[in-house]
Amino acid sequence: MENPAAPTGITRRRALTATGGVLASAALAQTVAAFPAAAASQDADAIVVGHGLAGLVATAELAAAGRRVLLLDQEPEASLGGQAFWSFGGLFFVDSDEQRLMGVKDSHDLAWQDWLGAAGFDRGVGDPAGQDYWAYKWAQAYVDFASGEKRSWLSGLGVQWFPLVGWAERGGGLADGHGNSVPRFHVTWGTGPAVVEPFEKKVRAAVAAGKVSFRFRYRVDGIVTTGGAVTGVRGAILEPSGAARGKPSSRTVVGDFELRAPVVVVTSGGIGANHDLVRQNWPARLGTPPKTMITGVPAHVDGRMLAITQAAGGRIVNPDRMWHYTEGLRNYAPIWPDHGIRILPGPSSMWFDATGKRFNAPDLPGYDTLHTLKSITGSGYDYSWFVTTQKIIAKEFALSGSEQNPDLTNKNILQLLSRIWQTPEPIEKFKNNGVDFVVASTLPELVAGMNKLTGDGLIDLADLKRQIDARDREIDNPYTKDLQVMGIRNALNYPGDSLSRTAPIHKILDSSAGPLIAVRLNILTRKTLGGLQTDLSGRVLDQTGSPVPGLYAAGEVAGFGGGGVHGYRSLEGTFLGGCLFSGRQAGRAAAAATAT
């Protein structure tokens, strides 16, 4: 994206009434009247573009400092909170109360070791002009934050976490390589909506106090500069929309606008729904771009503001770094186009490529997302298979997303406890209704179903049975040479996994653990790891490394900080946290810059 082609709940919702033939003047009157001009020469002290989590946090910080803010988004009010609302609510903490409760010994030094091993920063870390110069500094600051005030800050806002800490991205290499050495994935009690809620409340209170005004259905098409400094934004007013959260909204233009402020904060998200842009920036190291992908974010996550901000002088770095999941399911009840849901797997399912060849370590469930992605694309196909049992999916399968975890999202303790004695209802619904599941009593029936589902006829029964039998023989002893079986036993030694995320070890072909289940896994687009390069204040930098006066960015559009705080890989639980931290940094810095 150095020179990308420009692509063209627990919340209160007030969906605007969809009507045809709305005049531009009426739309302008509806919104502008709610917020008088701060001065004759400007409409506000700051404009925030994007009402997702980073935008809400930045707006809350600006309003807390007494600044008058316009919060713009092309989507209707129903989508306030953006992608964060749909998330599982996982947050990365270091040496937390929850970790200590689980007997996990974590430290800042261990977390920094893991971050560096995962990130692999290699693009000018010591060079102020390097793509990784500010990314590295943001990573240092973020690990300090996650080891320090992050938990107490959020706890003070009323956020709570499920006590069993998850162990994501386990790596599978050496101690100083990729992966979390210990569990660090803290699921928010209330999932994504509960992360959004305190900041939405702050912003709505600021609206009531006259400090913030929403501008729903305002699509920014350009950032205005005067004398080399940012002085506002311009764009199109879209017709009011009654589209429900996540549903595509119309792009019918009913007017235009130009708004003025000395500061613009871009918090518009990534490119995950723009498959053309994903493929355009796909790196050779991940193999051939998939011909077929499903989408993990709503359609409005289109990447438009990256090119728009670049046109205003911002520098885009690390465009080839991205984070897409390998365990995607086609949603049988889609909300947005090509809607996919990710399985968050435990360690026990066997993983095969499309031809029925078992993957080697670290291509194991929950270990190394991007290495597995490369292995899948290297197979020549866009999908792979889990072969598993009912006993495994009952305990080990979780689905990413607030709507797929009603017990956690709705804070329903009884429903949560029911996971102990039954397969979670969302999992059963996908098994029964999803197009990617094959269920059978015997292995021959399972293979026949797999070949029928894809129409490729690639799975050979005898060869698949040979590989499953070989794995099953390794279960007979408490020691083994099979790295996946080692990993299962390792997981069972961690109380959080043994209690909630790892099935008792058993043979795949044990009939008492059945029925047998095969799951076709699709590649699921999700996160942009690169983006607008920013300094630690969130100021967008130009090609020379100098700040663009008046221009800030936060969240995914800025690579969650610095244009790529994760480097090449994420440790998970760091996307929401990156929005929180970078939004706070940019909001506070923009407030200081506009102090009088």
Amino acid at 89: G
Amino acid at 98: E
- Flag whether pLDDT at 552 surpasses 90: yes
Residue range 96-122: mean pLDDT, rounded: 98
283: preceding bond cis by omega (within 30 degrees): no
Residue 504 in tokens: 């008792």
Q: Where are the alpha helices (DSSP H) in 329-424?
A: 369-378, 390-396, 406-409, 413-417
Position 82 scores a pLDDT of: 97
Q: How far apart are CA 12 and CA 80, in angstroms?
A: 9
Q: How far apart are CA 263 and CA 146, in angstroms?
A: 28
Residue range 342-347: mean pLDDT, rounded: 97
Phi, psi of 208 (to 5 degrees): -60, -30
Task: Write the CB contacts of 188 (distance below 8 Å, at least 6 apart in sequence).
Answer: 89, 90, 91, 159, 160, 161, 162, 194, 195
Tell me the chain's radius of gyration from C-alpha atoms: 24
pLDDT tens, position by position, 267-283 = 999 999 999 999 999 99
- Flag whether pLDDT at 472 surpasses 80: yes
Q: How far apart are CA 190 and CA 159, in angstroms?
A: 9
Smallest Cα–Cα separation from 377: which of 459, 289, 294, 296? Answer: 289
Position 420 scores a pLDDT of: 85
Q: How far apart are CA 429 and CA 392, in angstroms?
A: 16
Q: How far apart are CA 136 and CA 120, in angstroms?
A: 10
Handedness of CA 444, 449, 452, 456 (dihedral sign): negative
Position 40 scores a pLDDT of: 52
Smallest Cα–Cα separation from 322: which of 365, 364, 367, 374? Answer: 374
E strand or H helix at 146:
helix 133-147
Q: How far apart are CA 451 and CA 376, in angstroms?
A: 18
Q: How far apart are CA 61 and CA 66, in angstroms?
A: 9
- Flag whether pLDDT at 27 surpasses 80: no
The HSE-up count of residue 581 (CA atoms within 13 Å, CB side) is 30
- Do the Cβ atoms of 296 and 328 come closer than 8 Å? yes
Task: Write the CB contacts of 219 (distance below 8 Å, at least 6 apart in sequence).
Answer: 74, 235, 236, 237, 238, 251
End-to-end CA distance of the chain: 37
pLDDT: is 253 or 38 the higher one? 253
Residue range 516-523: mean pLDDT, rounded: 98
Q: Is 341 helix (H, G, I), strand (E, B) or coil?
A: strand
User: Quick one: DSSP state of residue 286?
Assistant: G
Distance of CA 490 to the CA centre of its chain: 27
Q: How far apart are CA 271 and CA 251, in angstroms?
A: 18
Q: How far apart are CA 525 and CA 325, in angstroms?
A: 7
Residue 388 in tokens: 């598993």
Of 18-32, 363-377, 462-476, 517-531, the one with minimum mean pLDDT is 18-32
Residue 116 in tokens: 């560096």
pLDDT band at 39 (very low <50, low <70, confident <90, very high): low
